[in-house]
């Protein structure tokens, strides 16, 4: 039996799609009647504190999101139960759409031209060609690598930072703490696509913003965070945007979500706020993916996209 435990998502839609695809394999919501002993799989997003209580026969925990930080920090996460995360072409495409749109916006200085328009100011400044702009991507996993390839295709000078080196045509690969400063030092637009782990928490801070390249992007380097709010120090972002250490920022994720009305980011100049919508998990493709995971596993095949709990992603 599959139990759905999805907060802030259209749970009935997922149930309907999964029930259709799984046929006579039962799918239940927490509000349905079932015996905990019968639950073999739980599909979770933002699970409550009691999410796993009594689930002693789990074969796998399924994460409807690509990021698993919410699961891995759950106080009562069952030990030794594999976690399968969501990896999906549509999610990847949507994330790359978000990244490309925001990189292009900052490269073409839309903040500056918007200000000029409002001031009725006709000043011709020509943005440099894409190949003169270095985009640095933090995290070269499923999402970071796809975004990198698309940006390379648009002519940008792309570099990436990950734990292990990558060999990709046209991409400069940096790895580990030793190469972090070298990676930042020539970056004009910093894109964050890292998972949230103890190592990456708070990585988007003033000290690191100060290491980015200046003088290439008019107004200062730009930051794009589509990964997790726990990476960023929001007081540092405000400070950096106000003193020119950063020229602009696009933020899809926040330290606290929904972003509180009291946050200065809402009205911060040159800061583009979106409500964690860069790439959502579509119930259509999501249900197909997880139905396949369950069917295959029930036939004795190995699970796919299993999280390395020790590594944290």
Interaction site with ligand NDP (CB under 6 A): 66-67, 95, 139-144, 161-164, 193-197, 199-200, 226-228, 252-253, 276, 278-279, 313
Q: 107, 228, 231, 297: which is the annotated catalytic residue?
A: 228
276 a catalytic residue: yes
User: 276-295 mask for ligand OXD (x: CB under 6 A)?
Assistant: ----xx--------------
Spatial contact of 40 and 2, defined as CB atoms under 8 Å apart: yes
How is the chain split among helix, strand and coil, in percent rounded to 5?
35, 15, 50
Closest CA to 159 of 190, 129, 128: 190
Cβ closest to ligand NDP, residue 250 vs residue 270: 250
Work out the number of other CB atoms within 10 angstroms of the CB of residue 153. 11
Q: How many helices (H) and strands (E) does the chain have?
A: 9, 12
Query: 265 touches which of ligand NDP, ligand OXD, none (CB within 5 to 8 A by kind)?
Result: none
Closest CA to 171 of 216, 129, 141, 136: 136
Indicate the SS3 state at residue 137: strand
User: 148-187 mask for ligand OXD (x: CB under 6 A)?
Assistant: ----------------------------------------
74 a catalytic residue: no
Contact pick of 6, 55, 61, 65 for ligand OXD (by CB under 6 A): 65
Cβ closest to ligand NDP, residue 109 vs residue 194: 194
Contact pick of 67, 136, 160, 283 for ligand OXD (by CB under 6 A): 67
The DSSP output letter for 302 is: P
């Amino acid at each position: 039996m599959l139990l759905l435990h999805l907060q802030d998502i259209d749970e009935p839609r997922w149930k309907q799609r999964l029930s259709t695809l799984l046929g006579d394999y039962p799918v239940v919501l927490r509000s349905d009647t079932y015996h905990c002993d019968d639950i073999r799989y739980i599909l979770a997003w933002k699970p409550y504190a009691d999410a796993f209580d009594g689930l002693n026969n789990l074969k796998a925990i399924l994460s409807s999101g690509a990021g698993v930080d919410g699961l891995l920090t759950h106080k009562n996460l069952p030990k030794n139960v594999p976690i399968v995360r969501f990896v999906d072409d549509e999610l990847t495409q949507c994330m790359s759409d978000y990244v490309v749109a925001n990189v292009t916006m900052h490269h073409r200085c839309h903040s500056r031209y918007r200000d000029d328009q409002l001031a009725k100011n006709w000043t011709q400044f020509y943005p440099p060609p894409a190949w003169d702009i270095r985009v640095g991507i933090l995290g070269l996993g499923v999402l970071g690598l796809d975004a990198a390839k698309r940006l390379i295709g648009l002519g940008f000078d792309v570099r990436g930072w990950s734990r292990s080196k990558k060999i990709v045509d046209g991409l400069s690969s940096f790895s580990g703490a030793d190469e972090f400063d070298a990676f930042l030092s020539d970056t004009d637009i910093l894109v964050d696509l890292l998972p949230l782990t103890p190592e990456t928490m708070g990585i988007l801070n003033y000290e690191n913003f100060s290491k980015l390249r200046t003088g290439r992007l008019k107004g200062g380097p730009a930051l794009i965070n589509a990964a997790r709010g726990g990476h960023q120090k929001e007081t540092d972002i405000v400070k950096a945007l106000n003193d020119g250490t950063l020229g602009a920022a696009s933020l899809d994720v926040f330290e606290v979500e929904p972003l509180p009305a009291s946050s200065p980011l809402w009205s911060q100049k040159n800061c583009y706020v979106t409500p964690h919508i860069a790439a959502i998990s579509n119930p259509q493709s999501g249900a197909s993916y997880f139905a396949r995971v369950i069917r295959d596993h029930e036939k004795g095949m190995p699970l796919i996209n299993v999280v390395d709990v020790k590594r944290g992603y």
